[in-house]
Each structure stands twice: as C-alpha cells, then as structure tokens.
Amino acid sequence: MNTNRLKKAQRILDFFHNNFGLHPPYNVLVDGTFCRTALEEKLQIKEQIPKYLGAQLKLVTTQCIIMEVEKLIKINSNLYGAWLVVKQFPVHKCGHAKNPIPASSCIKSLLKKRNPAKYIVASQDDDLCQYIHRRVVGAPILYLHYKTPTLEKPTEKCLVVASKKSKTLTVFEENTLKSLKRKYIEDDQQPRKKRKKPKNPNSLSCKKSKKVKLPQQGIKEGKRKRKRHRTKKISKPSSTISGE
Ligand SMILES: [Zn+2]
C-alpha cells in the first residue's frame, strides 16, 4: 500500500485517539453495504483493513445487519455473497435480538451521539454517513474508494469538539494548576511574614543603636552640652575638648 495513504490514515486515527479515546484493538463495525462493495471490488476485508489501519482490530457486525442482508437476498439474489461475508464476523450485542431493526438504525443506536463503544464504522451507506456527519462525534468512517480502503477525515463537528476539549484542562493540568496557585499564595504570604519579622530591622537597628548610642550619650551629655552651649558661647575651645 502507498505509504502516504497509511500515514494519512494513522494521523486520522491519532486524532480520534487523542480527542475521542479510540485505541487499538479497534472495533470496526462492518455493514452489508461495505461487504457488498468489497466483494464487487474483490477486496479481502480481513487482510486489507488491518494493513490499512496498521493496528490490531476486531471486525464486528450486529444481528440486525446480518438479518437485513438476509432479507434483501429475497429481492436481490446478488446479495448472497455479501451475506456470506458479513455473517462470518463476530456479532456485537445491539439489544435488538428479539426485534431486529434496519441496519442503519441499529448502527445509529449503537453510536448514539458520542460513539461510547468507540466503533469505526465501515459502510458505503451515504445516508448513514451523512447522519454520522450531522449527529455523531468521535466515530471515524471507513469506506471503499473502488478497492481502496479510506478513512474519512474528521468532520467539522469533530474538529470543533476537539478544539473545545483542547481549551479545557485535563485533571492532571488542573491539579498542577492548583498546586501552582498554592505555591503562589504561599509565596505571597511569605514576604508578608518577612515584613513582620523584627529580626532584620533589629540588626539594622543594632547598627543604628551604635549610632544611636552616640546621640544617647549625646543626650546624656546633652544637658552638659546645653550647659556647654551656654559655656561655648562663653568659652568654646576649652569646654568641647575637655567634654570629649
Ligand atoms: Zn441491532
């Protein structure tokens, strides 16, 4: 197979893995239309699809899908081969065992809005694919372009949901953000404590105290100075030298 095609498929699968939790082994939900086209194009589904997706996968179907093809054989006998192909795949429980419904309705009911069972839908049913485009996110569509398996690009709807998800934080990111906030809050509080700390200003005040001591001495001597001032006026040189 063309390596560019494989890389492209891998990128699409990575997108659905990162944004919608799809991971190997993939559940590839195969319907009658896909089996019919594969048969017409002589494509071996079991061989080619795992090669194209480059991962472990399970090809599965539902009872409703098998029943629908079986009924249609009565109208179009050419579908007998498609019925033989589709009924060889393991059957996933769809909840309609007692009252089978049309295949497309069955697939829609399994996909719901967010593809909870993480299916890759293998179908050539245009109506079903358009429904998935409009209503479902996180469900890759696999179709056959002649005999070439092709994964559809993610729809606009998927891209929008993915971009919104990327803006929201994961649990891990939230926790780290909380811890960062705590640190910042602690950091904010720490300088306040530092401000309250009297030790540093004391050390400064100790230095000051040396200077202060001098004025204190001065104060003690202030009385004398005052006296000296008085005396200075009278006799400056003799009193100041003798005072110091
Ligand atoms: Zn069903």
Q: What's the pLDDT at 47?
A: 97
Domain residue ranges of the chain, discontinuous segments joined by +: 3-167, 171-243
Ligand 1 center from residue 92 Cα (angstroms): 9
DSSP labels for 34-99?
HHHHHHHTT--HHHHHHHHHTS-EEEEEEHHHHHHHHHHHTT-GGGHHHHHHHTTSPEEP-S-SSS
Q: Give, for all 244 residues of the chain, the pLDDT tens digit.
A: 789 999 999 999 999 999 999 999 999 999 999 999 999 999 999 999 999 999 999 999 999 999 999 999 999 999 999 999 999 999 999 999 999 999 999 999 999 999 999 999 999 999 999 999 999 999 999 999 999 999 999 999 999 999 988 776 666 666 776 776 676 556 655 554 555 555 566 555 555 555 555 555 444 444 444 555 555 555 445 444 444 4
Ligand 1 center from residue 63 Cα (angstroms): 6
Distances (CA, A) of 28 to 35, 89, 136, 165, 192: 12, 10, 16, 25, 61
Q: What's the pLDDT at 178?
A: 72
Nearest CA among 69, 72, 71, 73 for reference residue 32: 69
Ligand 1 center from residue 126 Cα (angstroms): 19
Using CA atoms of 129, 124, 147, 67 in order, give the dihedral in degrees to the nearest 10: 140
The one-letter amino acid code at 129 reads C
Ligand 1 center from residue 71 Cα (angstroms): 15
Q: How far is CA 153 from the centre of its chain?
A: 20
Ligand 1 center from residue 87 Cα (angstroms): 14
Ligand 1 center from residue 132 Cα (angstroms): 17
Q: Fold for domain 3-167?
A: Rossmann fold (3.40.50)
Ligand 1 center from residue 104 Cα (angstroms): 9
Ligand 1 center from residue 52 Cα (angstroms): 27
Ligand 1 center from residue 93 Cα (angstroms): 7
Query: Residue 30: phi, psi to the nearest 5?
Result: -100, 130
Query: Residue 28: phi, psi to the nearest 5?
Result: -95, 110
Ligand 1 center from residue 180 Cα (angstroms): 50
Ligand 1 center from residue 184 Cα (angstroms): 55
Q: Hey, what are 190's tokens?
A: 């720490």
Ligand 1 center from residue 239 Cα (angstroms): 117
Nearest CA among 48, 30, 42, 47 for reference residue 146: 42
Ligand 1 center from residue 61 Cα (angstroms): 9
Q: Beta-carbon neighbour count of residue 212 at 10 Å?
A: 14
Ligand 1 center from residue 154 Cα (angstroms): 25
